Structure 1
């Protein structure tokens, strides 16, 4: 029983590009949902959080969602542009 770890399987660049595109789109979509959820909390549409706590919690959700919508995809792009170590 021998394990041949010296040669990795060939990588399809189109498949990798599709996976990266899907990951970036998923982060943007989830960030948009977090922002919408934060605005619903800010408008006090839920009974479990009201008053000043709703405004603070909604603001936190909006900021986190915007970070995920704007900054995280750019960080992923910078990470994807780096060459893997050889």
Structure 2
């Protein structure tokens, strides 16, 4: 077997900053997806019109809401677990 050196110590303040940044980034991208989905629903783009625009817009809105609401909560639960 190979012996790996122990991992370097983790600065808790730096880890907290990175986690906060990741949560903010997920929320921001989710909000942008929701806004883009509403623009598609309103048929503001010439490349998607009619029924396809409504279906595509609903998909974007649902994915954006999931990313804005659920993903940060899942990440928080993951961050609260002690490292193994």
* TM-score interval (norm. to shorter): over 0.9
Which residue matches 1:29? 28
Q: 1:32-75: CA deviations, max 9, x gaps?
A: 00000000000000000000110010000000000000000000
SS at match of 1:9: coil
Tell me which residue corresponds to 2:4. 5
TM-score for both structures, normalised by structure 1: 0.91
TM-score by length of 2: 0.94
Question: Counterparts in 2 of 1:33-72, with a 5 A limit?
Answer: 33-72=32-71
How many matched pairs?
Answer: 82
4+ long deviations beyond 4 Å: none
Where does the alignment leave 5 or more consecutive residues of structure 2 unmatched?
A: none
Secondary structure of 2:57's counterpart equals helix
